[in-house]
Amino acid sequence: MNRFGLTIAVPRGALLEPSLDLLDRVGIETAQVRGNDRRLLFEDIGVVTMRPSDVPTYVEAGAADVGITGKDVLQESPDRQLFELLDLGFGECRMVVAGVEGEDRGAEALRRLGVVRVATKYPRIAAEHFAGSGRQAEIVKVAGSVELAPLTGLADAIVDLTATGRTLEENGLVVREEIFTATARLIANRVSLRVKSAEVDGLVEAVRTAAG
C-alpha cells in the first residue's frame, strides 16, 4: 500500500503517463506499472489501472478510494455519487461539434428538416448541448471511430473529444462549435472521503504541492 493508505484508480490510455508522473511526484513509485502494460492491479502500491470511463464506476462503488479521470467522463455521467476534488490540469482536450469541410450539413439539416442527426460517444453531452441552444437533435450513439459517421452519411455532424484536431483534419472534418474544455480530475468515493478524510486530505495536499 502507498504512503497515503488509499487505493487509487488510474486511467489507461492518453492519461496514463501524466497520471503516473503525478503519483511519482507525490511519493508513489510507479516503475512497476510502467514496466507491465498487461497487469492491472498493483496492490503493493495501492494502484489499479483501467479505462478512463470505468474510473468513476470503481470509485463510486468503493473499489477505489480515489481516482483520476477526464472531465468529459464526469460530464457524461453527472449523477454519480462521488466528489470531484481537484482539476489536475493535464490531459487537456476540447469537446466539439464537427462536420465535413465545406457546407455545414448540420446547419443545412436544421434549416430543411428542423432536426440534425449527430453521432457521438457522448450522447448526454451532445443532447444537452443542442437542447440548450434550442436545436432539435437526433443522437446516434457509436462506440468506434465517430469520424466515420458524417463521411458515410450516418450523421450530419459529430460530437467528440479532440486534443490536437489532427484526427478530424485527416478525415476531412472541421470544428463547427466548441462545447467545453476537459482536463483530468481527481475524484473520491463519498465514504472514503468521510472515513479516510486524513488520508484523502494528505493526498490532495501532496498533489497541490507537486502541481505548484
Q: Where are the domains of the chain?
A: 8-91+183-211, 93-181
Q: Which CA distances in Å does 50 have to 58, 145, 187, 206, 210?
A: 9, 20, 15, 23, 24
Distance CA 196, CA 38 (A): 30
Q: Which three cell numbers stand for residue 31?
A: 516503475
Per-residue pLDDT, 1: 85
Q: What grid cell was written down for 141?
A: 450513439
> Which pLDDT value is given to residue 144?
87
Give the pLDDT confidence score for residue 172 in this predicted structure. Answer: 96
Q: What is the structure's pLDDT at 212?
A: 65
**What pLDDT, on the 0 to 100 scale, is given for residue 211?**
77
- Grid cell in block for residue 17: 503517463
**Distance between CA atoms of residues 147 and 113, nearest Å:** 23
Amino acid identity of residue 175, one-letter, is: V
Which CATH number applies to 8-91+183-211?
3.40.190.10
The CATH class that applies to domain 93-181 reads alpha beta
This prediction's pTM: 0.92
All residue ranges of the chain with pLDDT < 50 are none
